[in-house]
Amino acid sequence: AAGVIQSPRHLIKEKRETATLKCYPIPRHDTVYWYQQGPGQDPQFLISFYEKMQSDKGSIPDRFSAQQFSDYHSELNMSSLELGDSALYFCASSSGSSFTDTQYFGPGTRLTVL
């Protein structure tokens, strides 16, 4: 079965640079979530989209922005990168905005900021 695809899988950036992470949801899934997992920590919710509109917002820095496109893929744009942004960034997708929809996670993008 098709899964959530994230690219790139690994990314190395310098401080103050920008990064763009991409997420391709499972086919026919219209809801995308972004989570950040720091080293040794639990995943923290950043932001979500349903039908191309932002549906919820968590602890996402102002330096980060995200959007969902007409084909339902999503991009997380990160600017003025800081050392503390080094983390694993997961995307998850679900079908519909119902609270009983299971979220399926992608393999993550490991971002390292030097």
Partner 1 sequence: AQSVSQHNHHVILSEAASLELGCNYSYGGTVNLFWYVQYPGQHLQLLLKYFSGDPLVKGIKGFEAEFIKSKFSFNLRKPSVQWSDTAEYFCAVNSKTGFQKLVFGTGTRLLVSP
Stretch of 14-22, 64-72, 75-83, 105-113 contacting partner 1, by CB under 8 A: 105-113
Contact flag: residue 74 with partner 1 (CB under 8 A): no
Q: Could you check whether the bond before residue 61 is cis, i.e. omega within 30 degrees of 0?
A: no
Number of residues that bind partner 1 (CB under 8 A): 24
CB 46 within 8 Å of CB 63: no
Q: Name the one range near partner 1 by CB under 8 A: 18-26, 34-42, 69-77, 78-86.
A: 34-42
Tokens representing residue 32 in the block: 């995308």
Could you give phi then psi for residue 63, rounded to 5 degrees? Answer: -75, -15
Residue 6 tokens read as: 């994230």
Phi, psi (deg, nearest 5) at residue 94? -145, 165
Q: How far is the CB of 44 from partner 1 (least distance, A)?
A: 8
According to the binding rule CB under 8 A, does residue 25 interact with partner 1? Answer: no
The residues of the shown chain that bind partner 1, judged by CB under 8 A, are: 33, 35, 41-45, 48, 55-56, 58, 90, 92, 97, 99-108
